[in-house]
Chains A and B, each alone.
Chain A
Amino acid sequence: MIKQVLQEARFRKFTFLLSALAVTLAVALVVFFLTTSEASNRETIRLTRDMGFNLRIVAANTDMDHFWLHGFSDQLMPESWVDRFVQYPKFSFAHVTAALQQRLRWRDRQVVLTGLSREIEPGGKVKTAMTYHLAPGRVIIGYGPASALDIHAGQSVRILDTDFYVERTLAETGSEEDQWIYMDLESLQQLLHLQGKISEIKALNCLCLATDQQDPLLMLRDQLKQVLPQAQVIMNKTIAMARERQRLTMERYFAVLLPALLIGCGLFIASLSMINVRDRAREIGILRAMGYGSGRIVFLFLARALLLGLVGGLLGFILGALASLYWGPSVFKITGKTILPMYDLLFWSLILAPLFAALAASMPAAYAVNQDPANLLREN
């Protein structure tokens, strides 16, 4: 019977290939979407990451007017609080860094000296750094002072009687950060004689183990009180919500696109299967006359559908993966290069595409066996 299915597919190769093409396109689009949606998620993470840390911990006695006006806390806290924060088992986070910031009048301009510690990452994971990692003696100059004072990378600048090498200058960001001068935390602590002091702990994706009914920020504040009672936490909800919205948008898009795609391709396969049944009316009639049962006739049509699903699933995966690799980078500019074929989708393509094709062909197959064989033979 399998041989018969293969022979028939070869004989009517045009309709077979047309049906396989429908499955191929459906699978290719699903594979393309799923493969690139991973890149989309990564892209969103990167874009929101570039928006800054979403959790900021400052001393409890921080003047919040000053904080919001200048972008940093005027109060200091011990650097050891960073360890207490990251070691608290009820928090999970992606990036944590400590910062010391102080305003300074430098070469007749107002600048903010910003010292940044190395990032602490969970479980020793190596992640792309969110902040600048500078060696001692090196600085990065924000756009404001760099452009006003005509400072360029490679020059030497003197800050509070210490010479620093300018590693680079920054492009305009349109925020208060344009006035910042970055260096490593330890250098700034020495420069300001504030060893062991920081003004802020910044974290990204910091979550406490809240249930669905609980406000995560309230939970976070409550739990932070137990670890750092003299600190307060500020969460930038905009960043977290942007990421969530983007994720939901992609899910909604997929929820609309996928059924429409599957219904369209299913109807196309069903139509071609019906044409196949019509083309084979005589064959069905003679098979019935010879004593072939309904099961074997249904098998002929369903096995054919399974075969074209298998062919379409394989070709669709290859096409979808290649399309993702080819077009993905032009859609996702930042993370496009990280798009890789998702080989587990090959497994699912080879399982689900034949089942999908068989489902689409089931109605025509049922029609085939329910036809009156005498009529089929008489049509001759």
Chain B
Amino acid sequence: MMELLQVAKVYQKNSHRIAALENITLHISRGEFVLVCGPSGSGKSTLLLTLGAMIQPSAGAVRFNGREIHRATEKERTLFRRQHLGFVFQMFNLLPYMTVLENVLMGQVLRQPGDEATARQWLERLHLQDRLQHKPSELSVGECQRVAMARALIKKPQMLLADEPTGNLDAANAGQILTALSEYHRQGGTVVMVTHGSIGAIRADRTVYLEQGKLVA
């Protein structure tokens, strides 16, 4: 489904050359749950953003169902994200001026009839049915992350990219997020989740480790 072939990402800052990713080759199959582990600064987020076509690699190739994403134009990559990907970030990134329901609906770029009903279903599954008209500032961090989760899932993406989604949460809230991820995975969704430590509560199909921009296992 998605493959990285000898991908490198180098940042040049003044005279400093920072290699965020080096010679990464990774194959992710449809329906697979891949956990990417590694210490802070190991390149996990860069890897995730490269998978999400948010970062253009300095070298190597990124393919999605055979399509060369690394050669795509900005417009094509935007379309690719819109059609196939869902994102969940550690900091939620909810729009502060919108209600919970509106935030979730934002996940569906091209609205269709029935989107609101779908959004309500997801929010109910994530135990947020009483919070539909609340603003993010009125929610707990756990609730915010569940809203972000619902926003990512409303369009039924083929692949969900989660960047430390439980990093800010207590055990109970983290458990709810991981349950939602597992449920999405069970329904055939592909998950790539980045974390700085192993998460016992989740059963990933595969765990890969990154250290200083390189895959070590």
Contacts and interface: CB of A to CB of B under 8 A. Distances in A.
Contact of B93 (A285, A294, A374): A285
Interface stretch (B24-32, B77-85, B114-122): B77-85
A251 interface: no
Interface string A256-299: 00000000000000000000000000110111111111100000
Chain A contact residues: helix, strand, loop or mixed: helix
Interface in B105-158: 106-107, 109, 151
Contacts of A373: 54
Contacts of A285: 93
A10 to B, nearest CB: 7
B54 A290 contact: no
Interface in A295-343: none
A291 B81 contact: yes
Q: Which has the most chain B C-beta neighbours within 10 Å: A282, A285, A291? A: A291
Contact of A7 (B49, B80, B97): B97
A39 B184 CA distance: 73
A380 interface: yes
Nearest to B161: A289
Interface centre among A283, A286, A289 (most CB of B within 10 A): A289
A11 interface: yes
Interface in B46-81: 49, 52, 54-55, 74-75, 78-81
B89 interface: yes
Nearest to B99: A7
B74 A282 contact: no
B74 A294 contact: yes
Contacts of A377: 49, 54, 89, 93
Contacts of B79: 291
Contacts of B102: 7
B96 interface: yes
Contacts of B151: 290
A10 B106 CA distance: 18
A287, A290, A293, A374 pick with most chain B CB within 10 angstroms: A290
B45 A290 contact: no
Contact of B54 (A10, A282, A294, A374): A374
Contacts of B54: 288-289, 373-374, 377
Given A294-B74, A374-B49, A377-B49, A289 B97 contact: no
Nearest to A296: B109
B52 A289 contact: yes
B91 A290 contact: no
B90 interface: yes
Nearest to A280: B95
Contacts of A12: 97
A69 to B, nearest CB: 83
A287 B81 CA distance: 10
A291 B111 CA distance: 13
Interface string B197-213: 00000000000000000
A380 B83 CA distance: 25
A292 B80 CA distance: 11
Nearest to B82: A291
B97 A380 contact: no
A190 interface: no
Nearest to A11: B97
Nearest to A282: B93
B93 A286 contact: yes
Nearest to B78: A293
B95 A291 contact: no
Nearest to A377: B89
B75 A289 contact: no
A60 B121 CA distance: 102
A283 B93 contact: yes
A292 B93 contact: no
A379 B133 CA distance: 29
A378 interface: yes
Given A286-B87, A288-B54, 19 more contacts: A4-B98, A7-B97, A7-B98, A7-B102, A10-B97, A11-B97, A289-B54, A289-B81, A289-B85, A290-B81, A290-B82, A291-B79, A291-B83, A292-B78, A293-B75, A294-B78, A377-B93, A378-B49, A380-B90
24 contacts: A4-B95, A4-B98, A7-B97, A7-B98, A7-B102, A10-B97, A11-B97, A12-B97, A282-B93, A283-B93, A286-B95, A289-B81, A290-B82, A290-B106, A290-B109, A291-B80, A291-B81, A292-B82, A293-B75, A294-B74, A373-B54, A377-B89, A380-B89, A380-B90
Nearest 3 CB-CB pairings of A with B: A291-B82, A11-B97, A286-B93
Interface of A: 4, 7-8, 10-12, 282-283, 285-294, 373-374, 377-378, 380
